[in-house]
Amino acid sequence: MKIYLDLVLILNFIFDFLLLTSVSMFLRRNVSLTKLIIGAFIGSLSIFVLFLNINSIELFFIKIFISIIMCLITFSYRNFKYTLKNLFYLYTTSMILGGFLYFINIEFSYKQVGLVFYHNGLSINVVVLIILSPIILYFYTKQIKELKNNYSNYYKVKIKMDKHIIKCNGFLDTGNKLKDPYMHKPVIILDKRKIVFDINEFEMILVPIITASGTSLMKCYKADYIDIDGIGIKYNFLIGIMDEKIRIDGVDVILNTKILEE
C-alpha cells in the first residue's frame, strides 16, 4: 500500500488546526493565530507515531500525551480544570468531525486508504476541508474581534495584606460597583481558594450584598494595596471573600469599576 506521507501530514495539520480553532470558538478562548499553528503542527507530528513498533495501549497514551501538549501550547495552563475542559472539547470535536467523515465514507462508498478517504481518485478529506475551513475561520475571526474587546478587561493582580502577597488573575466587571455602606470603600471579590493563610488575623467588615437567593453579608478585609498590571497600585479597597468559585475560566478576583477612577 502506498502512503503519501506529505499529503497525510498536511491533511493532519489542517484538521488539527480546525479542531483547535473550533475549541477556541466553543470555549471563547482568546488565542493567537501563531499558537493555533504551533499547536496544530505538534498534533500533525503524531502521524509518525503510527510507524513505531508499539502496541495499541502505548499508542493510546502517546496520543493522549500529544493532545495534552497541543492544549498546553495553544491555550496555555491556568488550572487543572481549565486544561481538562480544553482537552475534553478537543476530543469531542475530533469525534464529531471523525464521525462525519466516517458517515460520508459509508453513505457514498468512499474507499479508505489509511487516514484518507477516496472516491474515484478524489479525497473526501480535501472536500471537507474546502467546505469547513472558510466557515470555521470566518467565525473564529469574528469571535476573536469580540474577545479582544472583552480581553482588555483581564488583568494580573497582586493583593498585599500585611506580609502576605496574593497573586491572581482579575476580571474588571462593569457590574461590580459594590461598596461598604460605612466608609464607602469599593470592594473587589476574591475566590477564597486563593487565600493560603489565616485571614481571621485581620479585622473583618460585613458588607451587605444582593444575590439570586436574596440579601446576605459578605466577609470583607482591608488590603494594604492592590497592584494591577497596566493600571497601577490602588489603596483603600476592601477584599470581599467569595465562598463559591468564580464562574469565569481562569479568573480569581472580580475587580471593581472604581479601579479606573481612583
List strands edge to edge, sheet with 111-113: 111-113, 116-119, 122-123
* Same domain, residue pair 141 and 126: yes
* Same domain, residue pair 19 and 90: yes
Closest CA to 112 of 129, 125, 99: 125
Gap between the Cα atoms of 155 and 172, Å rounded: 8
* Same domain, residue pair 27 and 65: yes
* Same domain, residue pair 53 and 91: yes
The percent of residues in the chain predicted with pLDDT above 90, rounded, is 21
Task: Tell me the per-residue pLDDT of 12-62, one tens digit each, with 9 for 90 and over.
Answer: 888 888 888 888 877 878 788 899 999 999 988 888 887 778 887 888 888
- Whether 121 has a pLDDT exceeding 50, the answer reads no
- Whether 127 has a pLDDT exceeding 70, the answer reads no
Last residue within a domain, chosen from 151, 171, 197: 151
For the whole model, what pTM was predicted? Answer: 0.51
Query: For position 141, what pLDDT does the model report?
Result: 66
Query: For position 126, what pLDDT does the model report?
Result: 56
Which of the pair, 143 or 166, is modelled with greater confidence?
166
* Same domain, residue pair 160 and 147: no
Region 114-134: what's the mean pLDDT? 52
pLDDT interval class at 130 (50, 70, 90): low
Q: CB-based burial of residue 223 (10 Å sphere; 0-12 exposed, 13-18 middle, 19+ buried)?
A: buried
**C-alpha count within 13 angstroms, C-beta hemisphere, residue 162:** 8
* Same domain, residue pair 128 and 10: yes
- Whether 190 has a pLDDT exceeding 80, the answer reads yes
What are the E-state strand segments in 80-213? 111-113, 116-119, 122-123, 154-161, 164-172, 187-191, 204-211
Residues of the domain holding 189: 154-260
Last residue within a domain, chosen from 135, 151, 167: 151
What's the total number of domains in the chain? 2
What CATH number does the domain containing 220 carry? 2.40.70.10
Strands 116-119 and 253-255: unpaired
In the chain, the N- to C-terminal Cα span, in Å, equals 71
Query: For position 112, what pLDDT does the model report?
Result: 44
* Same domain, residue pair 91 and 59: yes
Contact 191, 163 (CB under 8 A): no
Task: Tell me the per-residue pLDDT of 63-106, one tens digit each, with 9 for 90 and over.
Answer: 889 999 999 999 988 888 888 989 988 888 888 776 666 655 55
Average confidence score pLDDT of the chain? 79
Gap between the Cα atoms of 246 and 253, Å rounded: 8
Helix, strand, coil percentages, rounded to 5, for the chain: 50, 25, 25
Query: For position 172, what pLDDT does the model report?
Result: 87
Query: For position 73, what pLDDT does the model report?
Result: 93
Residue entry with cell 473587589: 188
